[in-house]
């Protein structure tokens, strides 16, 4: 009996190892569908799409399936295809997962955090994120909706910058013009739109483009509230998903990255 248990456990570990090996750095998370590893996933490039892994409110990194993993990795890789095709940025085809507990984050001056309405940074992580941003790092947040999730987001963000206001971004801000002129913006819904028929989630009816500036007037944190750009990237290849939403999501993402690489 004991031999069988040990054999079964070994077989399971071997299977998991094989899958992990095939995926290499891809974390073994079953989001929506299997995403093949790009052939040039290991290319050394200038830009790497760094996805922030953070502790979920009350549950640690992996609670609630790990809120930071939403849309991962398809959204990242599909967006990167667009970034590589539409700009001169030398970008890697595969994302990188980083967290605030490691110094590796300082090698990635642009990070993307999704579902930050569920994040829960402790004081040390908040201090690290503050240091990261003041040194010149850039944070884009996305896919959180309504008042409740805003309050959760704010609870951690105020530990990062207790004294810096979160402001509405003006249309004239360079971030909306660095490549594409994005004066005409609208709410980009997630895939849930096809189930609910609504472009918003919870009470987040109005899309908000907000941010936090440094002392020199440069944006450090770009906050996309009441929209789901990640889903638009992820489902851009779905025939039913409207092109205008996907297109705006790509343009916003690209503008934010180029802004982060120029300011």
Partner 1 sequence: MFEFFFEHSPAVFRKGEFILLGSWPIWILIVLIFAAGGILALRLRRTAAAAAPGVTMRRAAGIWALDTAVVAVLLLMLWHPAIRIAALKPQQNIIAVVVDDSRSMGIQEGSATRLEQAAGLLGSGLLDDLQNRFQVRLYRLGTELERIQSLEDLSASDHATHIGAALDQIVAESASLPIGAVVLVSDGADNTGGLPPETIAALRSRRLPVHTIGVGRPQFDHDVEITDVQTPDRALAGSRLTAQVTLRQRGFDGRKARLTVRSEGRVLATREVELAEGGKPQVETLLFHAGSPGAKRLEISAGPLEGEENPGNNTLARLVNIVDAHPRILYMEGEPRWEFKFIRRAIDEDPTVELVSILRTTQNKIYRQGIHTPEELKEGFPGRVDEMFSYDGLIIGSVEAAYFTPVQQELIREFVDRRGGGLLFLGGRASLADGGYGASALAEVLPVRLPSSKQTFHRDRAGVRLTPAGRDSMITRLVDDAEANARRWEELPQLADYQEVGPPKPGATVLAELIAPGGRELPLLVTQHYGRGRVALFATGGSWRWQMTQPLEDKTHEIFWQQLLRWLVTGAPGRVSLSVPRQMLFDEERVRLTATVRDTAYAPVADARVSARILGPNGLQAAVELAPDPARIGIYETEWTVPGQGSYIAEVTAYRAGKEAGRGVVTFERMDGVAENFHAEQNRELLERLASATGGSYYTPETAARLSDEISFSEAGVTVRETKDLWNMPILFLLLLALKSGEWYLRRKWGVV
Binding status of residue 2 toward partner 1 by CB under 8 A: no
| Pick 216 or 240: Cβ nearer partner 1 | 216
What torsion do the CA atoms of 228, 233, 238, 240 make, to the nearest 10 degrees? 40
Binding status of residue 136 toward partner 1 by CB under 8 A: yes
- Out of 33, 103, 163, 184, the only residue in the binding site for partner 1 (CB under 8 A) is 103
Quick note: the x/- pattern for partner 1 over 176-215, rule CB under 8 A, is --xx------------------------------------
Least Cβ distance, residue 179 to partner 1 (angstroms): 5
Rg (CA), the chain: 19
| Pick 2 or 88: Cβ nearer partner 1 | 88
What torsion do the CA atoms of 154, 51, 179, 261 make, to the nearest 10 degrees? 90
Binding status of residue 45 toward partner 1 by CB under 8 A: yes
| Pick 48 or 223: Cβ nearer partner 1 | 48
The one segment of 24-32, 80-88, 146-154, 196-204 that binds partner 1 by CB under 8 A: 80-88
The one segment of 42-50, 157-165, 193-201, 240-248 that binds partner 1 by CB under 8 A: 42-50
Least Cβ distance, residue 85 to partner 1 (angstroms): 10
- Out of 61, 64, 106, 213, the only residue in the binding site for partner 1 (CB under 8 A) is 106
Binding status of residue 137 toward partner 1 by CB under 8 A: yes
| Interacting residue ranges for partner 1, rule: CB under 8 A | 44-47, 86-90, 103, 106-107, 109, 131, 134-137, 178-179, 216, 218, 257-258, 260-263
């Amino acid at each position: 009996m004991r031999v069988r248990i040990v054999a079964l456990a070994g077989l399971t570990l071997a299977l998991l190892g094989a899958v992990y090996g095939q995926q290499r750095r891809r974390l073994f998370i079953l989001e929506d569908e299997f995403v093949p590893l790009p052939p040039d996933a290991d290319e050394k490039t200038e830009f790497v799409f760094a996805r922030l892994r953070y502790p979920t409110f009350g549950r640690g990194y992996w609670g609630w399936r790990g809120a930071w993993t939403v849309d991962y990795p398809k959204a990242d890789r599909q967006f990167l295809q667009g970034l590589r095709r539409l700009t001169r940025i030398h970008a890697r085809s595969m994302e990188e997962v980083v967290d605030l507990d490691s110094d590796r984050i300082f090698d990635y001056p642009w990070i993307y955090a999704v579902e930050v309405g569920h994040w829960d940074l402790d004081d040390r992580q908040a201090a690290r994120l503050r240091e990261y941003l003041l040194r010149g790092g850039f944070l884009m947040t996305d896919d959180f909706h309504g008042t409740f999730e805003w309050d959760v987001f704010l609870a951690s963000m105020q530990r990062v910058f207790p004294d810096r206001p979160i402001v509405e971004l003006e249309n004239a801000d360079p971030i909306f013009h660095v490549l594409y002129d994005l004066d005409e913006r609208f709410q980009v819904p997630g895939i849930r739109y096809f189930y609910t028929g609504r472009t918003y989630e919870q009470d987040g009816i109005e899309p908000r483009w907000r941010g936090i500036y440094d002392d020199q007037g440069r944006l450090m944190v770009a906050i996309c509230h009441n929209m789901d750009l990640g889903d638009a990237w992820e489902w851009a290849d779905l025939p039913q998903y409207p092109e205008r939403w996907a297109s705006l999501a790509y343009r916003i993402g690209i503008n934010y990255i180029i802004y982060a690489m120029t300011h």
